[in-house]
Amino acid sequence: MVLDPQRWLELRRFRALFESGAVTLTEVAKETGLNRKTVRKYLSGQAPAAPPKRTSNGRPRRRVVDEVAPLIDAMLRAEILIKGAVVHERLVKEYGSTINYQRVKLYLQEARPRIADELGITPRELAGMHRRFEVVPGAQAQVDWGDEGKILAHMGIAKVYSFHMTLSYSRDPFCCFTTSQDLQTFFDCHRRAFAHFGGVPMSIVYDRTKTVVRRHVAPGEAVPLHPEAVGFAGHYDFDIDVLAAYRPQGKGRVERQVLIVRDHVLAGRAFSSVEEMDAAFTTWVPQRRARTHGTHHEVIGHRAARDHAALKPLPVNPYLVAERQLRHVGKDCLVAFDGNLYSVPARRVRPRQLVEVRATRSQISLHLTTSDAGEQSLLAVHDRAVGRGARIVDESHWNGLPQGNNRRTTADASVSPPAHEPAADADAGPLQALLNRAAATCIEVGRRPLSVYDELTGTHPFTSQSKESS
């Protein structure tokens, strides 16, 4: 027999009396109207110490969190360490739930271990831990940037960055130094790394840098890749592997390489250019390859030979990455890009028209967004300006525009009229003489003294004597 909460609380009042021997089971049963066996069960501690939960129609009460429990479980399966605040935020914004954050938090305490068991892991194992992996030769490389700060500030270079690519099988390193992290520089460093290794790996691991990923997405969603990154990878025939957010352990080999290069190549040295820094790394590489690695316990150079032999061959022609942006054409037929101005043909554009700018490290090409009648989209090609504030103009682009060099003025009344304009005729009347611009400059204007106007108005001139008399 299961007691309802009210009868359970009533029976509990007799427990202290029964344990002290003041009353017997029979007396308690007679007092409460319960069976003697039921009284013995509850007073002897065999029954639960807490009152049973109130039920409706014999069924357990449904919790508010049960309505969104499948959604929470799905989020945990996608990311077992997802935070409760993030789960609550998505439930409210994406599903319109009004559930309280504390209910979500309490449910996660119960659901997280359960989902982790389904996945064969536990959250405690994931915190600060990661699974080590090994690859076959030529299978993978990892890429990362390093910030070397103001190492060349004395040369007027505000900041220097280091680009790193490490082959995962052998840990063979590549590094070069740049003053920019833009799209062209990023993939130009790739070409230099491929030339250094003598081939292309099957896949390259990246974090979510903006030169590879167009925008960030929620965990579990497909990552949209930058179109130039897709084109570059397709040309060199390698796969792009993008890590999950906040998981740098997935490219720990190159993360470690950044620190090693900083300690062994840069520390305690002074440089005057990035070329000197590149040369210092090239000089240090044989020393690195002669060392025995602490993880695979082989000489890096010996393992690198197998790694290089398994790389894919380089294509005949390099892939030139172009940064693509839309810009408006000014009324002066100039397009602004990266702090500089570039001209386009006046006869093929109109003011405020959108054109596409394709920029490489050395060249700027401007294109129509849609092909014209001749199926030609290219408008102009210019050398890329160095620095900012430059104006790169092809004078032929301004053909047909007013030049402003046919406007004339003169203050000399003796200038004869042009040959194509007839001279003023005295018998033609004053109106014709005024209509003729050349003759109008020869009209003599009468000059009168001011005393004439004083006599006409009956006033006296203002003199110093009149001033004294006043």
Q: What is the pLDDT of residue 131?
A: 57
Please indicate, yes or no, if residue 372 is contained in any of the structural domains. yes
Whole-angstrom distance, CA of residue 168 vs CA of residue 469: 110
Structure tokens at 287: 């020393």
Other residues' Cβ atoms within 10 Å of the Cβ of residue 63: 12
* Whether the Cβ atoms of residue 240 and residue 352 lie closer than 8 Å to each other: no
Do residues 419 and 394 share a domain?
A: no
Q: What is the pLDDT of residue 464?
A: 46
Do residues 287 and 145 share a domain?
A: yes
Nearest Cα to 355, choosing from 328, 336, 375?
328
Do residues 184 and 303 share a domain?
A: yes
Please indicate, yes or no, if residue 14 is contained in any of the structural domains. no
Among 373, 398, 423, residue at a domain's last position: 398
Do residues 303 and 158 share a domain?
A: yes
Structural domains of the chain, count: 4
Do residues 393 and 418 share a domain?
A: no
Whole-angstrom distance, CA of residue 97 vs CA of residue 107: 15
Tokens 């003759």 — which residue? 439
* Whether the Cβ atoms of residue 304 and residue 291 lie closer than 8 Å to each other: no
* Whether the Cβ atoms of residue 178 and residue 163 lie closer than 8 Å to each other: yes
* φ and ψ at residue 166, rounded to 5 degrees: -125, 130
Among 309, 340, 355, residue at a domain's last position: 309
* Whether the Cβ atoms of residue 297 and residue 180 lie closer than 8 Å to each other: no
Other residues' Cβ atoms within 10 Å of the Cβ of residue 411: 6
Do residues 302 and 442 share a domain?
A: no
Among 337, 363, 398, residue at a domain's last position: 398
Tens-of-pLDDT digits for all 470 residues of the chain? 556 555 666 676 677 777 777 778 788 777 777 777 877 777 776 655 555 555 555 566 677 788 888 898 888 888 787 888 888 888 888 888 888 888 888 888 888 888 888 887 655 545 555 556 678 899 999 999 999 989 999 989 889 999 999 999 999 999 999 998 888 889 999 999 999 999 999 999 998 888 899 887 776 677 889 888 999 999 999 999 988 766 666 788 899 999 999 988 888 788 999 999 999 999 999 999 999 988 888 999 999 999 999 999 999 888 877 778 889 999 889 999 988 999 999 988 989 999 999 888 788 989 998 866 556 788 999 998 888 889 999 989 988 887 766 666 666 655 555 555 555 455 555 556 556 655 555 666 677 787 777 777 777 665 544 444 44
Please indicate, yes or no, if residue 300 is contained in any of the structural domains. yes
Please indicate, yes or no, if residue 463 is contained in any of the structural domains. yes
Do residues 434 and 337 share a domain?
A: no
Please indicate, yes or no, if residue 241 is contained in any of the structural domains. yes
Whole-angstrom distance, CA of residue 53 vs CA of residue 77: 31
Tokens 């004439």 — which residue? 452
* Whether the Cβ atoms of residue 278 and residue 176 lie closer than 8 Å to each other: yes
Torsion of CA 169, 177, 262, 156, to 10 degrees: -170
Q: What is the pLDDT of residue 27?
A: 80
Please indicate, yes or no, if residue 405 is contained in any of the structural domains. no
Do residues 270 and 190 share a domain?
A: yes
Q: What is the pLDDT of residue 201?
A: 95
Do residues 468 and 381 share a domain?
A: no
Please indicate, yes or no, if residue 121 is contained in any of the structural domains. yes
Do residues 291 and 360 share a domain?
A: no
Please indicate, yes or no, if residue 261 is contained in any of the structural domains. yes
> pTM for the whole thing?
0.53
* φ and ψ at residue 214, rounded to 5 degrees: -70, -40
Tokens 């890590």 — which residue? 243
The amino acid sitting at 194 is F
Do residues 201 and 251 share a domain?
A: yes
Give the domain range for residue 420: 414-470
SS (H, E, C) the chain: CCCCHHHHHHHHCCHHHHHCCCCCHHHHHHHHCCCHHHHHHHHCCCCCCCCCCCCECCECCCCHHHHCHHHHHHHHHHCCCCCHHHHHHHHHHHHCCCCCHHHHHHHHHHHHHHHHHHHCCCHHHHCCCCCCCCCCCCCEEEEEEEEEECCCHHHCCCCEEEEEEEECCCCCEEEEEECCCCHHHHHHHHHHHHHHHCCECCEEEECCCCCCECCCCCCCCCCCECHHHHHHHHHHCCEEEECCCCCHHHHHHHHHHHHHHHHHHHCCCCCCCHHHHHHHHHHHHHHHHCCECCCCCCEHHHHHHHHHHCCECCCCCCCCCCEEEEEEECCCCEEEECCEEEECCHHHCCCCCEEEEEECCCEEEEEECCCCCCCCCEEEEEECCCCCCCEECCHHHHCCCCCCCCCCCCCCCCCCCCCCCCCCCHHHCHHHHHHCHHHHCCCCCCCCCHHHHHHHHCCCCCCHHHHHHC
Structure tokens at 99: 């559930």
Do residues 152 and 299 share a domain?
A: yes
